[in-house]
Structure 1
């Protein structure tokens, strides 16, 4: 039988993997993964995320091995080397075709097209598939034929499409005949990326089984109350599947079907928890479509052109205090320290910390976007950029410029007894639930060893509103 390559990227699973399944229907499959350290560095990929990829590749190699599918690893410096490396591998194996799932973003799309063109020039078949999203980006459009800029309108169109046809989940490939070819060993480290703490590795176990276990725990025990608990960083109330989704260890279709199953077959009505989580899955979808249909966003530009040259403040000391969790605003510091220690931050806190940087400190959202990508194990260009531009009021369907979250009142609402703050800001662990949310005197702060606030929340809010109004 002929050999068919399956090029894996952020789709590190055997179940419901469109390219892998389609390749398995054509003949004998050999999976291939490219390690590209220079590109990963350029794209600010977090060390925790690279480590997560490697650990998931190890688990995936075992799963593939049970199906007699070898995993070949090829290291090249940059994505520009991908066409040559993949053609060379295909020729050495006398492979007749290759399949892969499309990825999104300017560089990713250029790379994928370059590979497809190289295979066409070599007279080799190249099959591309939609897998990261429920719908091919650019197919949910307004009546005028443009991509939506408002999420609620996009969601309405997505609901309509899902009512017409729900995307199915594909099975894992069946066991194939042995190819007498060993899988390549997965390295424990990649040059240029530091070692990751055991804390992070324990918090984020690798493999499809780990992702499936978390999905089951969430849908069976947490999803019922998700609408009420999803904004509470002090309790385990969210899916915590973002890292698995970002690396493709679980698919968005698997998540959607689990939510619909919980919701007794409904996705836009029924149980509030299920509807709310499906809404979050569609936000993820929306931002990926934005990335494709408005390419300037993928190039690091503001979605709204009027803010591209906004006069942001240059404040290195403020930026460093924000990065390290030393702003003197407890909920902000707790959130930033959580990310540095675990590679993850609760979504409500992502909005709070982003808005604090962009509005209270008036520091360019791009600084925060980069910092998050460097440290998040679930770093995803579309979702990260979309969230940052929403908070900075520079993006599509973003928060109005005059909307500025007050971190103190948000902490009182979503961390009422201060347990989250105490966990990550031990300097304040002795304070009562009432004290922890109240302004403290400089003397008391010095006694606790905690910094004074680097900015006045009320005055900085007024400054931000004036600056945005002027723009």
Structure 2
């Protein structure tokens, strides 16, 4: 009788404490469920699906080299998982299952059903919090309530962990030479081929970020023409890289990084804490998984039924170059720079007054790093409906944002080659220049910034009062 390890969005080996605990108990089998209908219902992007399947295939070979057989089972939805899991345990003679928790509503319901079925079958269920440093519910106010503002959450998080030197458990298996045959259900479309999935290549990505980008991250992260971000978000979203793994590597080079909250080096750690904050919110306020406003006073807000504006936004045809270039980046690469996510989300929800839920779903259907907690948190932040959200009266000016964060128009020209010959001084809003010189094939602005801003302020102010 041996344990079974169940992979979810924790697709890593050496920094996976739940997996290592199972191996220490003699595990020789692991399982991953391909749930295509569930993924579609959750708006999983094809490029993320491809990255996930490629990584599972890679893990299958790696596990076989450590004497672990990975079973890949295809079922339509989460509803079929409990019986399929218990069937596999019965077939293999496994009397326990080791898993890392997932915090979304459907995932938690699936796990509850699995625990109940396992108890009836006398199969033990061991749940770990492998996707976070602080398990949800452990960073709270003095009244034992979830924080509703990020900064005090961060302060409390740091109080609990700033003196912790993180470490990873040792790997308990010697490597041999195993056999792995990729199941047909792991066939993807190849759309994620520019993103490596092998640990050697990923180790290089992590090392280059810490050595070369991290020292300048605070200054460079807002400029989309600079490769100043970590490039790790797709791997964090699928658990290919773990948060504790990153902190261990950060502390190996900068031991005092958690005690340096005002330093430039801390800027990226701050993003990791935001990630934890949004996960804690999902558990404390499960309505966030159900397309509900966090701030219910905006439930009556009248969004515009603007299909033409939404379509123009989706296609990168708003007439605002930074917005259009950002949307082209998403459509072309499956990824978008974080600063630009805020700009385009603000444009959709404030300039066009289109419901944030339409933008949230569009992002999930296209992002290689799609993650419900962070995506929902970001969209509700931009729409001013969320927890610790941008105040409704702060509306990003896409022209000002363009001048500030793409001053030379380098990013714009990369994704809007039709504006390649527009002078830098004019490129951030080229319409007067185009009217003067002619011959430039670029669409007119679909809204006037000042008018759109005034309309949004009036619409939000009614609900705010």
Normalised TM-score (structure 2): 0.96
Worse-superposed segment, 302-311 or 238-247 = 302-311
| 3-state SS in 2 of match to 1:83 | helix
C-alpha distance in structure 2 between counterparts of 1:444 and 1:108, whole Å: 57
Match of 1:401 in 2: 392
Asked if the contact 1:67/1:173 (under 8 Å) is kept, the reply is no
Match of 2:461 in 1: 469
Question: How far has the Cα of 1:208 moved from its partner?
Answer: 2.7
Match of 2:352 in 1: 361
Asked if the contact 2:57/2:186 (under 8 Å) is kept, the reply is no
Question: How far has the Cα of 1:432 moved from its partner?
Answer: 2.2
Asked if the contact 1:54/1:186 (under 8 Å) is kept, the reply is no
Match of 1:115 in 2: 114
| 3-state SS in 2 of match to 1:447 | coil
Match of 1:142 in 2: 141
Question: How far has the Cα of 1:347 moved from its partner?
Answer: 0.3
Mapping 1:449-468, distance limit 5 Å: 449-468=441-460
C-alpha distance in structure 2 between counterparts of 1:279 and 1:270, whole Å: 8
Question: How far has the Cα of 1:182 moved from its partner?
Answer: 5.7
Q: Pick from 207, 215, 224 the counterpart of residue 215 of structure 2.
A: 224
C-alpha distance in structure 1 between counterparts of 2:402 and 2:13, whole Å: 41
C-alpha distance in structure 2 between counterparts of 1:68 and 1:186, whole Å: 22
Asked if the contact 1:428/1:436 (under 8 Å) is kept, the reply is yes
Match of 1:238 in 2: 229
Question: How far has the Cα of 1:31 moved from its partner?
Answer: 1.0
Which stretches of structure 1, 4 residues or more, deviate above 4 A after TM superposition?
A: 180-184
Match of 2:152 in 1: 153
Asked if the contact 1:3/1:97 (under 8 Å) is kept, the reply is yes
Match of 2:88 in 1: 89
Taking only aligned residues, the RMSD between alpha carbons, in angstroms, comes to: 1.8
Mapping 1:154-169, distance limit 5 Å: 154-169=153-168
| 3-state SS in 2 of match to 1:267 | helix
1:325-345 deviations in Å (ceiling 9; x for gaps): 011100000000101111100
Question: How far has the Cα of 1:94 moved from its partner?
Answer: 0.9
C-alpha distance in structure 2 between counterparts of 1:27 and 1:176, whole Å: 15
C-alpha distance in structure 2 between counterparts of 1:270 and 1:297, whole Å: 29
Question: How far has the Cα of 1:452 moved from its partner?
Answer: 0.4
Match of 1:380 in 2: 371
C-alpha distance in structure 1 between counterparts of 2:9 and 2:442, whole Å: 41
Question: How far has the Cα of 1:176 moved from its partner?
Answer: 7.8
| 3-state SS in 1 of match to 2:248 | helix
Match of 1:209 in 2: 200
Unaligned runs of 5+ in 2: none
1:407-457 deviations in Å (ceiling 9; x for gaps): 111111111100000000111011222121244236369621110000101
Q: Pick from 316, 320, 338 the counterpart of residue 325 of structure 1.
A: 316
Asked if the contact 1:134/1:252 (under 8 Å) is kept, the reply is yes
| 3-state SS in 2 of match to 1:437 | coil
Mapping 1:17-416, distance limit 5 Å: 17-175=16-174, 185=183, 187-189=185-187, 195-197=189-191, 200-202=192-194, 204-269=195-260, 272-416=263-407
Asked if the contact 1:119/1:125 (under 8 Å) is kept, the reply is yes
Question: How far has the Cα of 1:166 moved from its partner?
Answer: 4.4
Number of residues of Structure 1 aligned to a counterpart in Structure 2? 462
Asked if the contact 1:259/1:278 (under 8 Å) is kept, the reply is no
Question: How far has the Cα of 1:170 moved from its partner?
Answer: 2.7
| 3-state SS in 2 of match to 1:126 | strand
1:121-146 deviations in Å (ceiling 9; x for gaps): 10111111110111110111111111
C-alpha distance in structure 1 between counterparts of 2:97 and 2:175, whole Å: 17
C-alpha distance in structure 2 between counterparts of 1:41 and 1:306, whole Å: 31
| 3-state SS in 1 of match to 2:424 | coil
Does residue 445 of structure 2 align to residue 447 of structure 1?
A: no
C-alpha distance in structure 2 between counterparts of 1:20 and 1:164, whole Å: 26
Normalised TM-score (structure 1): 0.94
Distance change in 2, residues 1:111/1:183 (3 Å): farther
1:183-214 deviations in Å (ceiling 9; x for gaps): 65364536xxxx354xx421x11133332211
Distance change in 2, residues 1:220/1:176 (3 Å): closer
Distance change in 2, residues 1:369/1:270 (3 Å): closer
1:150-190 deviations in Å (ceiling 9; x for gaps): 00000001001103544432333413899x99665364536
1:60-96 deviations in Å (ceiling 9; x for gaps): 1122122111110000000011100000000001111
Question: How far has the Cα of 1:28 moved from its partner?
Answer: 2.9
